[in-house]
Chain A
Amino acid sequence: MFSALLHRPGSPLLQDRSDLVDRLAQALPRGAVIGTGHNLSTYERDGSRDVSGDPLAVVLPEATGQVETVMRLASQAGVSVMPRGAGTSRCGGAIPLADSLVVGTSRMRQVLAFDADRGLIRVQAGVTNLAVSTHSLPSGWRYAPDPSSRRTCSIGGNVGSNASGACALRHGRTSDKLRGLTAVRQDGSRLDLGGHCQEPTALDLMGLLCGSEGQLVFVTEVTLALDPMPESAVTLAAHFRNTTAALAFAERVLCSGWTPYRIEYMDAHAIGLTERVAPCGYDTSAQALVLVELQGFDEEVRAGLEQLRGLLPGQADQVGKVRSEASDESPLWHGRESIYRAASASGAFEVLDVNVPLGRLIPTLQRVGELAATRAVPHATVAHLGDGTLHTFLTYDPSDGAARSRVRDCADDIRLACVAEGGSISAEYGVGLSRRHLLEAQYAAADLDQQRRVRHAFVSNDRLNPGKVLSSQVDFVGHVPA
């Protein structure tokens, strides 16, 4: 749908293109501008795989000051800017439209400050999520939000999608860890928020920027709060004959007063899928698996584990033996963490990140099964039971165009079913390019108009990450739809 967006013949943008690229090349360090004649294919796609754009040029600045220059020159030339982190978006969030200048953070990978006494770190936006923890680890700290792409995804991108992962129940999301932020606005002006000695704001603008998907500002530096490494971590794995028993156990855990580091659900399809690729001893005869990890002091997690065992249902509802192991020595998480690889091994897949209120999980899981069956789509679901986020993997043969189409329709059916249950079309990946058409199912027109007006306060036109989330296609400059 988006790959056929064209330059409108005679567009002033086309005429200015080489001029802008020349000016950027003069203003920035050698090699920072990748323009005509170079292979830009890396920057034409992201983790969503199925849409691609055609960037005007790619710029890779190294510092905030250079981003200010890029944004100012692009603004003067009337060219749209597409901020790009590591390109791991699963919803087309990093896909450039045809006239966009892609500004990537891959050369912004410096740790700017690290306060080991207080557990604070300031990094450039291109530093990966995992690298923040790696840098902090020798001092006993870690960065808690752990999206599944943590090895490759960038902190700037994490801010854009307010990233979190399975441990959000205990440690929250990116917005809960953000202590300061530097960003550049579309006109090239710098914005400093939060942190010590900064000008305080009446409104929580920093919180607003979390999850704004690069639609408001270009994030260049962030200050993050770290969490101490736990003394001990144990995991309990219990297999169940049915989903109801599994979720009832999870509810008892959540009401027990123990706050798991993570509590995860896998359905029978997910168990089977992962056991084929990363066998770690899951019981494939079970209908559901619940993995619970507790972290803390030694005696605390040992006592907690015993208490969790006491919350398990009778043997009639369980399959096999309950396993509990120290997390760092246990393969129990290998299967769960291999779900993306397992889904890839079965062909192509689309993965959802929907969310429903916890009390609606059982009917929603039933509905997911019904909707997938209706469209004859193979599926597997894992879920974060602490917050009601479902990752349903819809698999298909990539050579089968009809199957691909069925999967897309099925994915939308499920997202809409979650909205009907009071939930969200996206709990983790964002809206990006590929879910824009569903925003109106979740929000009324007036709600979205207000969001657009807020965006307009930051971006006076549609030239920062155009075509995504709130942007209106009629605003596109230099494009005609396919």
Chain B
Amino acid sequence: MTAHDVLPRTQSGRIFAPEREEEAAEWLRAARSRRRRLRLCGGDTRSRPRPEDPVDTLSARRLCGVLRHDPRDRLIVARAGTPLQAVVELLARQGQRLPFEPPDHRQLLRRQGTPTIGAVAAANVTGPRGLDGGEARSHLLAARLLNGRAEAIRCGTATLKDVAGLDLTRLVAGSLGRLGLITEVAFRVEPIPERELTIRVAASAEALLHWSTRARVRGIRLTGGVWVDGTSLRRAGYDECGGSIFLRLEGPPALVVAHRRRLLDLLPAEVEVEECSDLASAAIWARLRDGSFLPTVEGDDVWEWRLEDLAGALDPALPFDEPGLSWQLDLGARRLLCVVGAGQHSDRLTYLASAAPPRCGPALLRGPGTSARARRIPTPRPRSALQALEHAVLASFDPDQLLA
């Protein structure tokens, strides 16, 4: 039975999850020949299409398995549907990790499915460690994808440095499935450091920006910098009135000791500092990474701002003190999250969302009319020369605009 036989001519909303790249290519060819749009996904942790959306889904979740991992190479090659957790566990057994600490936001966003390594590339999923090591896209060495023509394309080379030809991995990372179905990825990996230390300070989000900038100036290597509001922390069991900043140092013990001393010198003498290390520290950062200090009640809305300029000041209009709102600022992930409690409404938040320039405002990650994708993908009719250029690049992969 071929894809042409199975792909429904009238029905929509079906999910196809082939086990081989060739099968996936056949689905794409069939969809193309019938001019049927396809939604691409990995482990299907994103929001599902609405019933009225006339799209079928092509999933990479059964394209599974680690293809290459020699710890000496400091890289891993895996098929796109390989669960992220399986990759993390395999690397950990060899004393290694992904340098960009991809989060798992299923709990925060009340999603199902299984995060996959391919989706990490497709969405440029980056966690707190991005503060020191850069985003996922900086570590994506190569990717293989089926473009809108159903052609298998290799972007980049699975080696640590390569400048031969155009670096299409930069386009693939964060493209959210608009260029093609990612079938394989190669990521750089790094050794797990011997020591980890967390310093917690009661302070504001603005203080986090200020101190992280000063730390960078002094040569202090922070591998995480996150602020969480006081209400969320109290709910999580912290005895705090205001918000707290979490700062992380990692490395050999002597490095951590040296950087800790400089960091404490940097902080004002009057602030109270709480420290924890290793396992206790790791447990805190797992929660910060996944946003699980924030409430996740049915009916909550989750908003996200992208921080394109890390060292810049936060918008003073942000309603940090407004009751019913919970906040987390993660400098490594370049993300400010805000949870609006069920039944709550924030006029200031609504105003900020509506007044922001195109594609610059907050995106609603969870809630009615979820719009995260719409914000970051060019509108169907380009409104600027830059959007027109992006459309042309997208069309070079997907000329029929087949991929939703």
**Chain B positions 204 through 220: 1 when the CB is less than 8 Å from some CB of chain A, otherwise 0:** 00000000010011110
Are B252 and A442 neighbours in the complex by a CB distance under 8 Å? no
Which of B7-15, B151-159, B224-232 binds A?
Answer: B151-159
Interface residue B271 (Cβ < 8 Å from any Cβ of A): no
Are A359 and B72 neighbours in the complex by a CB distance under 8 Å? yes
Are A200 and B166 neighbours in the complex by a CB distance under 8 Å? no
**B258: chain A residues within 8 A (beta carbon):** 296-300, 303
Which of B36-44, B236-244, B385-393 binds A?
Answer: B385-393
Which 10 residue pairs spanning A and B have beta carbons closest together? A303-B254, A207-B170, A457-B392, A359-B72, A453-B396, A300-B258, A424-B162, A387-B160, A427-B161, A196-B309
**B255: chain A residues within 8 A (beta carbon):** 257-258, 296, 300, 303-304
Interface residue A388 (Cβ < 8 Å from any Cβ of B): yes
The residues in B between 294 and 339 inclusive whose CB is less than 8 angstroms from any CB of A are 306, 308-309, 311-312
Are B389 and A446 neighbours in the complex by a CB distance under 8 Å? no
**B153: chain A residues within 8 A (beta carbon):** 446-447, 450
From residue A29, how far is it (CB to closest CB) to chain B in Å? 27
Interface residue A104 (Cβ < 8 Å from any Cβ of B): no
- What separation, in Å, do the CA atoms of A432 and B219 have in the docked complex? 37
Chain A residue at smallest Cβ distance from B213: A118
Picked from B72, B164, B378, the residue with its CB within 8 Å of the CB of A442 is B164
Interface residue A117 (Cβ < 8 Å from any Cβ of B): yes
> Can you show 23 pairs from A to B with CB atoms below 8 A apart?
A118-B217, A176-B138, A191-B385, A204-B174, A208-B170, A230-B219, A251-B72, A255-B191, A256-B252, A296-B258, A297-B259, A299-B254, A387-B160, A423-B162, A425-B164, A428-B161, A442-B157, A442-B164, A444-B154, A447-B165, A450-B155, A456-B396, A457-B392
Are B162 and A355 neighbours in the complex by a CB distance under 8 Å? yes
**A431: chain B residues within 8 A (beta carbon):** 163-165
- What separation, in Å, do the CA atoms of A428 and B168 have in the docked complex? 17
The residues in B between 131 and 184 inclusive whose CB is less than 8 angstroms from any CB of A are 134, 137-138, 147, 151-155, 157-168, 170-171, 173-176, 178
Number of interface residues of B (CB under 8 A): 73
Interface residue B194 (Cβ < 8 Å from any Cβ of A): yes
Picked from A140, A258, A355, the residue with its CB within 8 Å of the CB of B159 is A355
The residues in B between 338 and 358 inclusive whose CB is less than 8 angstroms from any CB of A are 357-358
Picked from A205, A299, A456, the residue with its CB within 8 Å of the CB of B390 is A205
Are A208 and B171 neighbours in the complex by a CB distance under 8 Å? yes
**A271: chain B residues within 8 A (beta carbon):** none
Interface residue A228 (Cβ < 8 Å from any Cβ of B): yes
**B251: chain A residues within 8 A (beta carbon):** 257-258
Are A257 and B252 neighbours in the complex by a CB distance under 8 Å? yes
**B49: chain A residues within 8 A (beta carbon):** none
Are B191 and A443 neighbours in the complex by a CB distance under 8 Å? no
Tell me the number of A-to-B contacts counted with CB atoms below 8 Å: 244
Chain B residue at smallest Cβ distance from A443: B165
Which of A46-54, A127-135, A161-169, A319-327 binds B?
Answer: A161-169
Interface residue B394 (Cβ < 8 Å from any Cβ of A): yes
Best-buried of B138, B255, B378, B385 by chain A (most CB within 10 Å): B255
Given contacts A140-B217, A228-B219, A426-B163, contact A457 B396 (CB under 8 A): yes
Picked from B161, B175, B219, B252, the residue with its CB within 8 Å of the CB of A307 is B252
**B151: chain A residues within 8 A (beta carbon):** 446, 449-450
Beyond A119-B216, A161-B163, 4 extra complex contacts between A and B, CB < 8 Å: A208-B167, A228-B218, A303-B255, A447-B153
**B158: chain A residues within 8 A (beta carbon):** 357, 422
**A203: chain B residues within 8 A (beta carbon):** 171, 174-175, 390, 393-394
- What separation, in Å, do the CA atoms of A162 and B164 have in the docked complex? 10
Given contacts A257-B194, A422-B159, contact A210 B170 (CB under 8 A): yes
**B176: chain A residues within 8 A (beta carbon):** 202
From residue A368, how far is it (CB to closest CB) to chain B in Å? 16
**A251: chain B residues within 8 A (beta carbon):** 72
Picked from B164, B175, B193, B309, the residue with its CB within 8 Å of the CB of A426 is B164
Given contacts A256-B252, A355-B161, A387-B160, contact A204 B170 (CB under 8 A): yes
Are A454 and B168 neighbours in the complex by a CB distance under 8 Å? yes
From residue A149, how far is it (CB to closest CB) to chain B in Å? 15
**A175: chain B residues within 8 A (beta carbon):** 138, 167, 170
Are B154 and A355 neighbours in the complex by a CB distance under 8 Å? no
Are B385 and A189 neighbours in the complex by a CB distance under 8 Å? yes
**B168: chain A residues within 8 A (beta carbon):** 208, 450-451, 454
Interface residue A277 (Cβ < 8 Å from any Cβ of B): no
Picked from A191, A215, A300, A357, the residue with its CB within 8 Å of the CB of B75 is A357
Interface residue B74 (Cβ < 8 Å from any Cβ of A): yes
From residue A187, how far is it (CB to closest CB) to chain B in Å? 10
Interface residue A439 (Cβ < 8 Å from any Cβ of B): yes
Picked from B163, B191, B359, the residue with its CB within 8 Å of the CB of A430 is B163
**B33: chain A residues within 8 A (beta carbon):** none
Interface residue A172 (Cβ < 8 Å from any Cβ of B): yes
Interface residue B73 (Cβ < 8 Å from any Cβ of A): yes
Interface residue B30 (Cβ < 8 Å from any Cβ of A): no
The residues in A between 427 and 482 inclusive whose CB is less than 8 angstroms from any CB of B are 427-431, 435, 439, 442-444, 446-451, 453-458, 469-470
Given contacts A456-B396, A457-B395, contact A357 B159 (CB under 8 A): yes
- What separation, in Å, do the CA atoms of A299 and B252 have in the docked complex? 12
Picked from A199, A384, A442, the residue with its CB within 8 Å of the CB of B359 is A199
Picked from A119, A358, A429, A453, the residue with its CB within 8 Å of the CB of B163 is A429
Interface residue A395 (Cβ < 8 Å from any Cβ of B): no
- What separation, in Å, do the CA atoms of A56 and B307 have in the docked complex? 46
Are A443 and B262 neighbours in the complex by a CB distance under 8 Å? no
- What separation, in Å, do the CA atoms of A334 and B56 have in the docked complex? 62
Interface residue B397 (Cβ < 8 Å from any Cβ of A): yes
- What separation, in Å, do the CA atoms of A256 and B163 have in the docked complex? 28
**A447: chain B residues within 8 A (beta carbon):** 153-155, 165
Given contacts A358-B160, A447-B154, A450-B153, contact A210 B378 (CB under 8 A): no
- What separation, in Å, do the CA atoms of A176 and B170 have in the docked complex? 12
**A357: chain B residues within 8 A (beta carbon):** 70, 73, 75, 158-160
Are A199 and B384 neighbours in the complex by a CB distance under 8 Å? yes
From residue B334, how far is it (CB to closest CB) to chain A in Å? 12
Interface residue A356 (Cβ < 8 Å from any Cβ of B): yes
Given contacts A255-B95, A297-B259, contact A454 B159 (CB under 8 A): no
Chain A residue at smallest Cβ distance from B309: A196
Given contacts A424-B159, A424-B164, A430-B163, contact A450 B397 (CB under 8 A): yes
**A456: chain B residues within 8 A (beta carbon):** 396
Interface residue A211 (Cβ < 8 Å from any Cβ of B): yes
**A201: chain B residues within 8 A (beta carbon):** 386, 390
**B377: chain A residues within 8 A (beta carbon):** 202
**Chain A positions 249 through 277: 1 when the CB is less than 8 Å from some CB of chain B, otherwise 0:** 00100111110000000000000000000
Interface residue A195 (Cβ < 8 Å from any Cβ of B): yes
- What separation, in Å, do the CA atoms of A428 and B72 have in the docked complex? 22
- What separation, in Å, do the CA atoms of A172 and B139 have in the docked complex? 10
Chain A residue at smallest Cβ distance from B379: A202
From residue B161, how far is it (CB to closest CB) to chain A in Å? 4
Are B393 and A457 neighbours in the complex by a CB distance under 8 Å? yes
- What separation, in Å, do the CA atoms of A191 and B392 have in the docked complex? 15
- What separation, in Å, do the CA atoms of A327 and B317 have in the docked complex? 49
